[in-house]
Amino acid sequence: MSRRRTMVAVAALVGSLGLALGACGSSDDEGSGSTTTTGAKGSSTTSSPPISGVAAPIVLTPSQTTATVPAGATVVFDMGDPKDGSFLAESDDPAVFVVEGEGKVEGTMTTNAGGKALKAGTAHVAVSFHGSTNGVGTPTEFTITVS
């Protein structure tokens, strides 16, 4: 290949790479998610900006047991390391909040129990530890209000 053809090929490659990376950026008109959580030490409101149009999950802990979330939000229950057991969640109203996963360790990856807010209403979610030599632990009760 001649030197000129090589230069043109490199320029075309750099130009197309720039267009592809530019398409990955976000625009200023995208909304942001907002969450209000209430725990033992009061309530707080946090915002999580969308990443390329996808909002970050809302993370609740045993000290934050009440949250108001928008419909469509993903909620994760960070209960700590389940070691050899797992954290299982149960929703009393799957039409409002549906559980989609359990907290467990798979190889080197640890996941949290969580689910999705579907429609306006209130759901109570019980997250409990299962496994190990202790059997089933006392559930932590969460109240999720979907707006």
The CATH number of 31-146 is 2.60.40
119 Cβ contact partners less than 8 Å away, ≥ 6 residues apart: 71, 95, 96, 146
Residue 23 parent element (H or E): helix 3-23
Collapsing DSSP to helix, strand or coil, 8 comes out as helix
Q: Is the pTM of this model over 0.75?
A: no
C-alpha 73/C-alpha 46 separation (Å) is 14
What pLDDT, on a 0 to 100 scale, did the predictor assign at position 134?
A: 56
The 10 Å Cβ neighbour count of residue 76 is: 19
In contact, 64 and 90? CB cutoff 8 Å: no
Helices H, strands E: what count in the chain? 1, 13
Question: What angle is formed at CA 140 by the lines to CA 134 and CA 145, rounded to 5 degrees?
Answer: 155
Tokens of 138: 């006392």
Q: Residue 56 above 80 pLDDT?
A: yes
Average pLDDT, the chain: 76
What pLDDT, on a 0 to 100 scale, did the predictor assign at position 126?
A: 96
Residue-wise pLDDT for 25-38, tens only, equals 444 444 444 555 55
Tokens of 109: 């990856």
Residue-wise pLDDT for 93-147, tens only, equals 999 999 999 999 999 999 999 999 999 999 999 999 988 655 667 899 999 999 9
